[in-house]
Amino acid sequence: MTAPERLTAVGAGLEQLYAQTDFQARLRTDPIRFPRRYTRHEDVEIAAVLASGFAFGRVTLFGPVLEGLFDRMDAQGGPRAYIDHFDPNVEGPALAPVVYRWVRGPDLVVLFGALRRVRAQHGGLEPLFGGGSARAALEGAATALEQEARAVAPSGSLSRGVRYFLSRPSTGSACKRWNMMLRWLVRPPTEGVDLGLWTCLRPADLVMPLDTHVMRIARFLGLIRTSTASWRVAEQLTAQLRRIDPLDPVRLDFAIAHLGISGACKGVRDPEVCSPCPLRKGCDAPPPSVRTVAGR
């Protein structure tokens, strides 16, 4: 099979996967369910920043942390009201017990303080993400948020937990969580998943979020060659998917990711498991004796 023939087969398989995906059922195991709770624009975008920022590791682990944070916000009028009236002297002790991997309660005090300052200056979060491209949008937003975070952080220095929320393309980061947030907020709710609230970018401008499952499946399909996530690889994968859908290259992200999240893709070639998979014709998954692990 030639490279163009394989891309055609992969594209057809991805479209079939997309058509077969039960988007509503998969929402229960996706962090976008948190911003989808809200209807007010300001509540949704703040919830999207927080939910995407915590979306590393297993959703069964970070989900309960987010549940607790949003419960506290809702008790005070919702995410917008909570951030706009955020008082570190009051909320600091309440957030102190929060722990998720290397993120701690004091990190959230700095992050929420930065969001409060940004909202006071710009009236919302979308103005931070202008620039005409996803790369420019993320660089601008990370720079602005870092500046405000340093203004509220003790001694002006940022902890690992805060810096992890402020990844940027210029450092080589794939910015998976930022790109996922942009997908949520920019893409229209065609499948009843994404939110379509922001107009600062077009769907065609978005870059694929490189999570573990997407990386692994994209390698099996020959769309990328490396197992190490980076901004360059995210752009390479997006360019390949743009050949399938030029106007909306990240449309397939949810379906690909949940093929892995659901356990339907085992990461190895298994005739019984793989035979019903719409991607089987273009897939080079290894035999069971060869294990490969995708990088983040």
Q: What is the DSSP letter of 268?
A: S
pLDDT digits (tens, 9 = 90+) for 94-104: 999 999 999 99
Q: How would you class 221 by CB atoms within 10 Å of its CB: exposed for 0-12, middle for 13-18, buried for 19 or more?
A: buried
pLDDT digits (tens, 9 = 90+) for 21-65: 999 999 999 999 999 999 999 999 999 999 999 999 999 999 999
- Which has the closest alpha carbon to 69: 39, 100, 27? 100
pTM of the model: 0.94
> How confident is the model at residue 288, as a pLDDT?
86
Q: Which residues contact 21 (CB under 8 A, 6 or more apart)?
A: 191, 254, 255, 258
**Which amino acid, one-letter code, is at 21?**
T
Q: Which residues contact 154 (CB under 8 A, 6 or more apart)?
A: none
> How confident is the model at residue 296, as a pLDDT?
36
270-279, Cβ contacts within 8 angstroms, sequence gap of 24 or more: 277/17, 278/13, 278/14, 278/16, 278/17, 278/20, 279/10, 279/13, 279/14, 279/17, 279/217, 279/220, 279/221
H-assigned helices in 191-230: 212-220
Q: Using CA atoms, how far apart are residues 95 and 93, in angstroms rounded to an integer?
A: 6
User: What tokens were used for 61?
Assistant: 């682990």
Is pLDDT of 294 > 60?
Answer: no
> How confident is the model at residue 224, as a pLDDT?
97
**Which amino acid, one-letter code, is at 231?**
W
Band the pLDDT of 291: cuts 50, 70, 90.
Answer: low
User: What tokens were used for 163?
Assistant: 């810096």
Q: Are the C-beta atoms of 15 and 248 separated by less than 8 Å?
A: no
- Which has the closest alpha carbon to 186: 254, 134, 238? 134
Q: Which residue has the tokens 């298994």?
A: 270
**Which amino acid, one-letter code, is at 39?**
T
pLDDT digits (tens, 9 = 90+) for 62-90: 999 999 999 999 999 999 999 999 999 99
User: What tokens were used for 211?
Assistant: 């999570």
pLDDT digits (tens, 9 = 90+) for 148-190: 999 999 888 999 999 999 999 999 999 999 999 999 999 999 9
Q: Are the C-beta atoms of 176 and 183 separated by less than 8 Å?
A: no
pLDDT digits (tens, 9 = 90+) for 111-143: 999 999 999 999 999 999 987 899 999 999 999
- Which has the closest alpha carbon to 184: 18, 20, 22, 37? 37
Give the mean model confidence (pLDDT) for residues 5-19: 95
Q: Using CA atoms, how far apart are residues 227 and 215, in angstroms rounded to an integer?
A: 7
